[in-house]
Each structure stands twice: as structure tokens, then as C-alpha cells.
Amino acid sequence: FGVTALRWWCSVQLLWTCYFKAPGIAISQFHTSSPASAKQHYKMLVLGGGTGGIAMSSRMKRLVGAENVALVEPSEIHYYQPIWTLVGAGAKTVASSSRPTASLMPSGVKWVKSKVQEINPETNTVRTADGTEISYEYLIVALGLELHYEKIKGLPEGFEHPKIGSNYSVQTVEKTWKALQDFKEGNAVFTFPNTPVKCAGAPQKIMYLSDAYLRKTGKRAKANVIYNTSLPVIFGVKKYADSLWEIVKKRDLQINLRHNLIEVRADKQEAVFENLDKPGETKVIEYEMLHVTPPMGPSSVIKGSPLADEIGWLDLNKETLQHTKYPNVFGIGDCTNLPTSKTGAAVAAQSAVLSRTISKILKKEKPDKKYDGYTSCPLVTSYNTVILAEFDYNGQPLETFPFNQAKERRLMYHMKTDVMPHLYWHGLLRGLWGGPGPYRKIMHLGMK
């Protein structure tokens, strides 16, 4: 039944892509790219060419024409970050997560290969690192978030030592796999910081995979697997948290809530945690393997601009994704203050709503489609099982499939490892896939 459901789901995706959305869209190397130089003006300016930025450039090309769209992104390589969970556990290569940015840019869209340094919404201008000023009619901000390893004493220099890794950066993800392979006996420690993070499930997915690897290699009896999280819960949505608690009990994984990593003494293989419920109390844990999820925060460019909320996130209307003060400014993804879990799946759902919002505003009409906070986290619980968490702004499950997704399933593992990368590269980034919302409805109707 599960396989039939997956096949059906894929056919719906394919049909949607081939017959309803594809005409007129071609992704190729023939975009125009240059370092920013003289003053430039664009009807639609997109900042950041990660998941949200490329997806929105593709959609905006369709809406206003390629010659009217520019995207500012400094990186030559684009990464599909969700695969890093599997890279850290040796199940995929880091090369499989990357593609040249040039191959993903929608053809005809201007690629400004530079960093945004300043955004001035009062004058509708942006300044890049090489001093170029770009003016815009409409601005889409997709700058992602910033990782702050340096906020943990002893990092990032501690990564030069063995036994420590982090799936959150392309520089350190392979160190996780090395530390796991080199594990002999002792504590395998996994952390979750005291800040918002992208993919809140990823810090614990690598724990389940490491546990499975240690079992497979006969080392589990000599290991204590420990998850120290700053959060007061194992996962924010009760339905999935209940299943995860069952798994950690069954597999003898030790969970310490409200424990925040503040220092790594990599030369001694020691990690120092503060107890967030007892200020001033710290605990030192000796580790044989340490996986660090770094503190994260808003883009410094947004933080230093009038577009930021009091913390520094892009201040948006949570339903329309339009800026709260500047009506010609919009945002998507990890850089925003949308009160949902920051994931690529959320970006997919947001891209469909934002596209609709902008098309309405261009016609001087009111936005009519509302983002419900849809987000998804495939909680990898072993080398062949996943719990597929999907939920909205209120933490209410919004599941795609007509079976209990809180249960570990092999089918969902294939979805994560085989189907999702395909949907990412060929659907989401081409502006052809807006999350499983519509399919969710189709699936449920069809299965009744």
C-alpha cells in the first residue's frame, strides 16, 4: 500500500511538472552573469541564491520576464543542505549535495555575483560589496541565516582536532563521518543550541544514525549515546515527540533537556555545558565523538537595516509574506521571522504563496492566498527509517499521506533520500513545486 502511495504521489508530481507548469521554462547556463559594476535597475531584485532565492527567481522570471529579474549571490556552488545529515553518517557523499550555481540560475536572469552589503528600503536600493548600487521596484529577500560556531568557546579552531564534526557546514560535515568511523569507546555526544536553528530535527537525526552505525559495527555496547539539548522538549510537536521518546527509550539513548554547549576543549576531548534551568551550573563531559549544532542568528545585512524586527529577522506579515512596513519588499525562508520551523519544505510552501502575493500586488489587487506555516522535517531514525513530521504554525500535524506519519517507515526513508532531492533540483528550484499542499489534498481524496 505504501509503495503504491509513493508511486502515485510521484506520478502526480511528474504530471504537474510536465503538463501544467513546464511550458516556457528552461533552465540553462545561458543566464547573464557578471560582477556588479555600474548602477543597475531591476523591476524584481532577489537577494540570496539559496533554496528560496533560486526558486523565487524562477517564479519571477515567469511572472515578469527574465530581463526584469536580477539575483545577488556570491557563491559559485549551491548546496542541497538536507543531504548533509546523510553525508555525516556516511550514507551519501558531499559531492552529491552540490551543483554549480550557474547550472541552476534561470536562463536570462541577471546573476550579480557579489555580496549584498546594505539594503536601503527608503530609497529602494541595495549596495553590494564591490560598491555597486542596484535599484529595484520590488525586492525579495532570501538571505538565509548565519551560523555562529564562534559563540562556543574553543570553536571553530577546535574542528582542527579529530573526534568532532558538524553536519551544519560543508567544511565540517565530513568530520562527523570520520569521528563516527574512528569511534572506539566512550561518550558520543550530540548538541542543540540555545537559538532558533534550521531544520530543528537535524541535530538529533545524526544521533539516531550514529547509534545505528555503532550497533552495525558492534561498538554500541561500549558507547553512551547522549543528546544534550537547550530545548525543554525533544521535539516541538507532541505527536512526533511521543514517538521519538519511545525510540530513545528502546535504544537506550540519554536525553538531557535544557543543556547548552558553551565550550569545547578539543585538545582534551571535553565539552562544557551550562544547565539553563540552574544559572551558573556547568557540567564537563568527556567525549569520544562530538557533533556540534552551532548557535544561529539572523543575517547581519538584514539586522543592520530598517527591514529587521527587534531581533534582526526580516519582519513579515506571516500570511502574505509581505514586509510589515515596506509594501514592495517580500521575504522567504530562514531569514524571516515567520513563526514556523525553518526548513526547505517551508520554503517550498512559501514560494507558492509568495508568488501569488506578488502577482496580485502587480495587478494592484489584494493578496488572497495565505501561508499556514506548513513545514516538514523527515526525522531520520536509522539507515532505513524516517518519521515524516509535517505541521503548521500552530504545531498541528498537516500530513501528506493517509497513514500515521509518526510511525517509523522505510518508505519515508526512500522519500527523503531518493524522491526529495529530485523534487528539489528539478521542481522547487525551477519554481515548479510549491510543497505538498495541493498533493496532500489530492492524496487524501484519492485514498478515501
Q: Which residue is nearest to ligand FAD (CB)?
A: 50
Q: Is 199 in the site for ligand FAD (CB under 6 A)?
A: yes
* Region near ligand FAD per CB under 6 A, out of 75-83, 234-242, 306-314, 384-392: 75-83
Q: Is 127 in the site for ligand FAD (CB under 6 A)?
A: no
Q: Is 400 in the site for ligand FAD (CB under 6 A)?
A: no
* Residues 190/106, Cβ–Cβ less than 8 Å: no
Q: Is 52 in the site for ligand FAD (CB under 6 A)?
A: yes
DSSP 164: E
For ligand FAD, the binding residue among 31, 59, 113, 198 (CB under 6 A) is 198
Near ligand FAD in 217-276, by CB under 6 A:
none
Closest CA to 138 of 63, 217, 88, 50: 63
Q: Is 81 in the site for ligand FAD (CB under 6 A)?
A: yes
10 is annotated as an active-site residue: no
For ligand FAD, the binding residue among 121, 196, 344, 373 (CB under 6 A) is 344
Integer Cα distance of 34 and 44 in angstroms: 17
Angstrom distances, CA of residue 63 to CA of 24, 67, 352, 360, 427? 11, 11, 12, 11, 17
Q: Is 106 in the site for ligand FAD (CB under 6 A)?
A: no
Q: Is 333 in the site for ligand FAD (CB under 6 A)?
A: yes
Q: Is 202 in the site for ligand FAD (CB under 6 A)?
A: yes
- Peptide bond before 156: cis, by omega within 30 degrees of 0? yes
Q: Which one of 10, 18, 199, 335 is the catalytic residue?
A: 199
* Residues 302/119, Cβ–Cβ less than 8 Å: yes
Near ligand FAD in 154-173, by CB under 6 A:
167-168
Burial of residue 61 (CB within 10 Å: 0-12, 13-18, 19+) is buried
Angstrom distances, CA of residue 152 to CA of 156, 170, 274, 286? 8, 19, 12, 16
Integer Cα distance of 254 and 287 in angstroms: 14
Q: Is 299 in the site for ligand FAD (CB under 6 A)?
A: yes
- Residues in contact with ligand FAD by the rule CB under 6 A: 47-53, 72-75, 81-82, 84-85, 115-116, 142-144, 167-168, 198-199, 202, 299, 301, 333-335, 342-345, 347, 376, 378
The residues annotated with a catalytic role in the active site are 199, 377
